[in-house]
Amino acid sequence: MGLFYGFLGSRDMDVSSTVIMVFLLVVIVDGETVSTDDMLFENVYRCNQFARAIERGESGPNKQSYIWQENISAYCLPKMVTKDTELFK
């Protein structure tokens, strides 16, 4: 508990450097990653909603795709960033 307690109890820690867990949307087309490191979501469920829509080729929130996208995959990875990082909601 010493290391963890020391981290939380540090009075010299800069609040802007506090890290939070967010979710990076990763999109792969034909084996090549086409997403960027700034495709960050504060909520894993919202990130997964985009990943699902990309994989299925959905044209709207309540519309089914006609055919499954081929060679396209999308998923969300947890990532630690500073609290002041810009995120999608």
Task: Find the mean pLDDT for residues 4-24.
Answer: 65
Residue at 75 is within a domain = yes
Task: Enter the pTM of the model.
Answer: 0.73
Question: What is the C-alpha to C-alpha distance for residues 2 and 46, in angstroms, rounded to an integer?
Answer: 36
Residue from 59, 60, 88, 56 nearest 73 by CA? 56
Residue at 74 is within a domain = yes
Residue at 67 is within a domain = yes
Residue at 7 is within a domain = no
Domain that holds residue 77: 14-82
Residue from 47, 53, 56 nearest 25 by CA? 47
- The model's pLDDT over 48-72, given as tens digits with 9 standing for 90+, comes to 999 998 988 877 766 666 566 778 9
Residue at 23 is within a domain = yes
At 17 the pLDDT is 72
Task: State the pLDDT confidence band at 14, using cuts at 50, 70 and 90.
Answer: low
Number of structural domains the chain divides into: 1
Task: State the pLDDT confidence band at 30, using cuts at 50, 70 and 90.
Answer: very high
